[in-house]
């Protein structure tokens, strides 16, 4: 599911809701949203599992920029956002990072 963006009227921020579908992490115990917005901290943005099985988090981000991010499943498996705004090659390994533009 594409990140849902709600731009705030009173400040240059955007509330972005990220969703990792159940199919991507069906048996996961934990999922974290990790990226430039949190200095790639693997523990600072835990996602919550919904009744549907999807994992969700809403984060307030500065506008007029792009952020790279990925999902970390159970502390060892990386997953991209299947519906990101774009993708960019990661400087670490032969993989890509998801991009959200706000």
| Separation between Cα atoms, residue 14 and residue 94, nearest integer Å | 31
Q: Show the domain range for 12.
A: 4-101
**Model confidence at 1: pLDDT above 90:** no
CATH of the domain at 19: 2.60.40.10
- pLDDT beyond 90 at 49: yes
pLDDT tens-digit profile of 3-40? 999 999 999 999 999 999 999 999 999 999 999 999 99
Task: Read off φ and ψ for residue 65, nearest 5 degrees.
Answer: -160, 170
Please tell me the total count of domains within the chain: 1
């Amino acid at each position: 599911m594409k990140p849902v963006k709600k731009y705030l009227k009173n400040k240059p921020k955007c509330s972005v809701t990220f969703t990792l579908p159940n199919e991507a992490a069906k048996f996961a115990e934990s999922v974290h949203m990790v990226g430039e917005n949190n200095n790639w901290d693997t523990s600072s943005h835990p996602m919550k599992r919904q009744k549907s099985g999807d994992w969700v988090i809403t984060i307030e981000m500065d506008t007029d920029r792009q952020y790279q991010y990925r999902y970390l499943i159970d502390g060892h498996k990386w997953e991209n956002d299947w519906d990101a705004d774009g993708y960019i090659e990661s400087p670490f390994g032969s993989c890509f990072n998801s991009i959200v533009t706000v």
